[in-house]
Amino acid sequence: MRKKFNVTFIRFYLARNLLRLTFMIFYVYYMWIIMVKYDSVFYVSMMPLSALLGYLIIIIPEGYILDKFRRDLIMFLSSIFIAINYFLLFFVKLLYFIYLIATISSILSNISSDVFMTLIKDIVEEFNINKSMSFIEAGRGLSEIIGILIGGISILILSKYFIPIMIILSLISAIFSYPNKKINKAVKIKSKYNYNNVIRIIRIIIGFLILGMLINGLFVSLDVYASAIFYQYLHTKSFYYTLFLLDFSLGGFIGGLTGIKINKLIDSSYFISISIGIFGLSFLFLALSKYSYIDLILSGIIGLFSSLVNIPLNSRLLKIIPNEVLGRVNSIIVIFLTSSSPIMAVLFGSLSYFYSIPKILTAVSLFLIAISLPTYYYLRKIFSIDENLIREKMK
């Protein structure tokens, strides 16, 4: 990493993870509150739906903006607006208003993450990208752990203070991401490409995006059913629900730290294929489990391998996509990876009226196991692509 970028990376890294932390506090708190107040899995499923749907609406124009305008300023404004968004919670407590706040918070939090990701090629250009992504995954896991802890504690004893906490953290994020013209000039991109060039890139990696779309859609079942598993099936208190979410993020944090040491091992189609099979088995055991402590262990395992899979996949995409179109290509990738999530959130919420949650999770597990082997052969082709080939295809 260039010396002049050391401070830049740290402060944007902190700003990005602080916004993620505030969203996790909000998410954990209201997912449980809605379940307890309305005793409805469907109402709970509207939280991830609201969060994801709003982001999908803005992602295309966001990609264009990130390639054309000052990225550091966009990140700074995201922090300011999300603080204002949380401030409105003092005045309105209606369920539909909570969904609206979830939508806006998700948009701003994800914009902050996207800005950070589009700066990575400039900020860490002299470092191994795989190790950098491992560091980013560890930060993501740690911010989620702290967010889940604060959200869980807020449910129990700090309900009066969780809104001020989110506002203060958002404003601290704004301080870290304060725009600087010198930094902006150093990473400014002049792009001669348009969306026709972007579509050519997408065609090359379309199979990978469809695979990610399917897996992400299935993972929404954890968001939708987590509170119901502990509240309706295991009849436990919010403490275990909080631990379940915490274990997933703890697994992600450990995965990020581990990835720094074994980045060469995990950067293979073989490892990713095995990991998808492990996801399937974990969902199956989760469906069969009747004990809280087993569910907590499985959550950690899923979080661990989720992080280890994200590292090579994100690194691979970052390496092969030209910086001039990174914002716009990233917007299309996000659409594919998250477009199924709102639909699946509603689907999983609706299916709970007709089938038991264990049966639904069993179906999810069998699908993941079935696609693990074909994934190996497909990813071998994807991993042979480099940036030079992408640039040739863009002409």
Q: In which domain, by residue range, is 285 found?
A: 3-394
How many CB atoms sit inside 10 A of residue 219's CB?
A: 18
Residue 342: the pLDDT is: 65
The answer on pLDDT for 103 being more than 60 is: yes
How far is residue 255's CA from residue 220's CA, in Å, rounded to a whole number?
A: 20
Pinpoint the alpha helices (H) of the chain: 6-38, 41-68, 71-87, 95-123, 129-156, 162-176, 181-187, 195-204, 206-228, 238-261, 263-266, 269-288, 292-320, 326-351, 357-382, 387-394
Statement: residue 261 has pLDDT above 60: yes
In the predicted model, is pLDDT for residue 2 greater than 60? Answer: no
Q: What percent of the chain has pLDDT over 90?
A: 2
Whole-number pLDDT of residue 4: 44
Q: What is the pLDDT at residue 210? A: 78
pLDDT at 346: 72
Place of tokens 């909080």: 242
Give the count of domains, the chain. 1
State the burial class of residue 61 (Cβ atoms within 10 Å of its Cβ: 0-12, 13-18, 19+): exposed
Sorted by sequence, the CB contacts under 8 Å of residue 124 that are 6+ apart come out as 1, 5, 9, 132
Q: What is the CA radius of gyration of the chain?
A: 20
Mean residue pLDDT of the chain comes to: 77
Res. 189 pLDDT band, cuts 50 70 90: very low
Question: Which has more confidence, 361 or 326?
Answer: 361
> Nearest Cα to 254, choosing from 316, 212, 298, 306?
306
100: domain CATH number is: 1.20.1250.20
Residue 198 has pLDDT above 80, yes or no: no
Is a pLDDT exceeding 80 seen at residue 300?
Answer: yes
pLDDT band at 172 (very low <50, low <70, confident <90, very high): very high
Of residues 18 and 60, more confidently modeled: 18
pLDDT band with cut points at 50, 70 and 90 for residue 1: very low
pLDDT tens string 313-355: 777 777 778 777 777 777 777 777 766 666 776 777 778 778 8
Please say if the pLDDT value at position 84 is more than 60. yes
